[in-house]
Amino acid sequence: MAPLLHLRDVALTFGGQPLLEAAEIAVSAGERVCLVGRNGSGKSTLLKIAAGIVDPDHAERFVQPGSTIRYLPQEPDFTGYRTSLAYVEAGLGPGDDAYRAQYLITELGLTGEEDPATMSGGESRRTALARVLAPEPDILLLDEPTNHLDLPVIEWLEQELKSLRSAMVLISHDRRFLTSLSRATIWLDRGVTRRMDKGFGDFEAWRDEVLAQEELDRHKLDRKIAREEDWLRYGVSARRTRNQRRLGELHSLRDQRRTARAAQGNVRLEASEAQTSGKLVIEAIDVAKAYGDNVVIKNLSLRVARGDRIGIVGPNGAGKTTLINLLTGALAPDSGTVKLGTALEMVTLDQRRESLDPATPLGDALTGGGSDQVMVGGQPRHVIAYMKDFLFQPIQRGTPVGALSGGERGRLMLARALAKPSNLLVLDEPTNDLDLETLDLLQELLAEYQGTVLLVSHDRDFIDRVVSAVLISDGDGVWTEFAGGYSDMLAQRGRGVGAKVRPVEKAAPAAAKAASSPATSASKRKLSFNEKHALETLPKKVEALQAEAAKLNAAVAGDLYTRDPKLFAKATARLEEVAREIGDAEERWLELEMLREEIGA
């Protein structure tokens, strides 16, 4: 099938550095493609070139005659529009259904009378979405469509996009969103695109295979260079006159090695942990909070123990941030009591980055000013070294915070928060503007963190990977706790965030009642001997496996590949096996620990 839109050989240099070198996008009728890559890799720029907004240094751009394209920018321009509805209607073309504009405005929770000059980030994003969706174009180019949206709107948007016949190219950091919608993946890496005719769900395994092959190719190149250097060291003097060709080949190999553009670096995340807190971290008893007639929290009782990871979810305006403030003692309840545990050292990552002064240089934001040292867990580190851990270049030390991108500000907030010793991390939308690799590393950090985590997020995949329980708003100030992640909550509750919990009727089937109260079935049994034994022995097994993994990592990190390729292959295979065994053991221990707690309750 001929593509509706085809970009080939896209090249663009930015600030003297090549941003795009051989990029390509092809999208056919009805096709759903996700465009993925690191922050700063040029995804948004490539999408703007596809939309005809940015002119590259070189490109071949073909659009099927008569095809309509609509582009969703990250920061729409509302200049000249009096209301949100006027902005949406201006995007309609001849023959488009004018009623669809009002339909989408209503579905997205707007009135159409909002003043674009005073709209919030969420209202601006919903208005911009209505404008590009209303014409039902042949091609939709969507740059971060879920930014500033809450979970009910994200889930609505998924269903709306699935119902359209439009071809789509999507950029998003929301894994669940991409997995649900995409059927093909374009990976932009180091200026070049690679395409896989499968959705995002298969991307990460494919990416890892590509990078592993690159690493193997680099090993081969290094070994060839070593052989040539050995020949030069002992043979060039005797064969100089007739073997200058080999000397030229070596120089060519070295140039290859020098100029090869290596994969971009990874963020190095480490949380500075303080002394262990008391076993009981937070206890709330019959807590209530209201603002006038708006009841935000009603009769909430909750116990948070050391090591718990509580995810707080709900629509915008449900009171998630208010709830965080109540639980951490920053806000007093109208009634009820909140008791904080002993020896708590709390670090908070705020949602709006408000603690960052736009005029402050990046280096001073980390050091506090007047120093080149950052205190990380009570130990000094040079600010440049710490900046590199979070993918900042040394030249950015003097860059004002206000000049940083959204992703860079997100990484800066993480760098500031994680430098402080803590045993309670409070994260209010920490995933905003972070790329997928940084999200992976943040998830690993939280998995290894020994303290307690309170997390507010609209990222369903991140919640699934991080939390041990979900506290969800059911409306009217009612909050309900479910064991597990977001998917577990869906299975138990039956609906997503946007809907109220189903009422429990007298005639409800026994299976449904059991599902709504997992502790009931657990309380009827006791732990078996094997389960008790596993609870006691699994932590030691995990420690032993982690020690083995550390030894294997040390072995493969050296020159083992060069000395003994077979032993290297055996060690890497065992390393993968150990990683799986650790994951299985930790998962089994968590299941048994949750069962033990349910029986105790």
Convert 306-317 into a string of H (helix), E (strand) and C (coil): CCCEEEEECCCC
Q: Which residues pair with 284 in a beta bridge?
A: 302, 338
How much is the pLDDT for 242? 41
- Interatomic CA distance for residues 367 and 362, integer angstroms: 9
How much is the pLDDT for 252? 55
Query: Cα 260 from chain centroid?
Result: 28
Q: What is the DSSP letter of 447?
A: H
3-state class (DSSP) for residue 187 = strand
How much is the pLDDT for 415? 85
Q: φ and ψ at 51, to 5 degrees? A: -80, -10
How much is the pLDDT for 298? 92
> For residue 313, which of 65, 489, 554, 569 has the smallest C-alpha distance?
489
Query: Cα 26 from chain centroid?
Result: 26
- Interatomic CA distance for residues 248 and 246, integer angstroms: 5
For residue 574 the two structure tokens come to: 């065992």
Q: What is the DSSP letter of 262?
A: P
| CB atoms inside a 10 Å sphere around CB 304 | 22
Q: φ and ψ at 143, to 5 degrees? A: -100, 105
3-state class (DSSP) for residue 284 = strand
Mean pLDDT of successive 10-residue stretches along the chain, which has 601 residues = 89 84 93 90 92 93 94 91 95 88 92 92 92 95 91 91 94 93 94 94 89 79 62 44 47 48 51 66 93 90 90 88 92 93 84 69 88 84 87 86 78 83 87 77 79 91 88 90 86 69 34 38 56 80 84 75 78 79 75 71 59
Residues in the chain: 601
| Burial category of 44 from C-beta neighbours within 10 Å (exposed 0-12, middle 13-18, buried 19 and up) | middle
pTM, to two decimals: 0.68
CB 447 within 8 A of CB 466: yes
Determine which helix (DSSP H) or strand (DSSP E) holds 86, and give its type and residue range: helix 84-89
> For residue 330, which of 282, 263, 379, 393 has the smallest C-alpha distance?
282
3-state class (DSSP) for residue 354 = coil
How much is the pLDDT for 265? 52
**HSE, side-chain direction, 13 A CA sphere, residue 265:** 10
CB 150 within 8 A of CB 316: yes
3-state class (DSSP) for residue 455 = strand
Question: Largest Cα–Cα distance of the chain, in whole Å?
Answer: 98
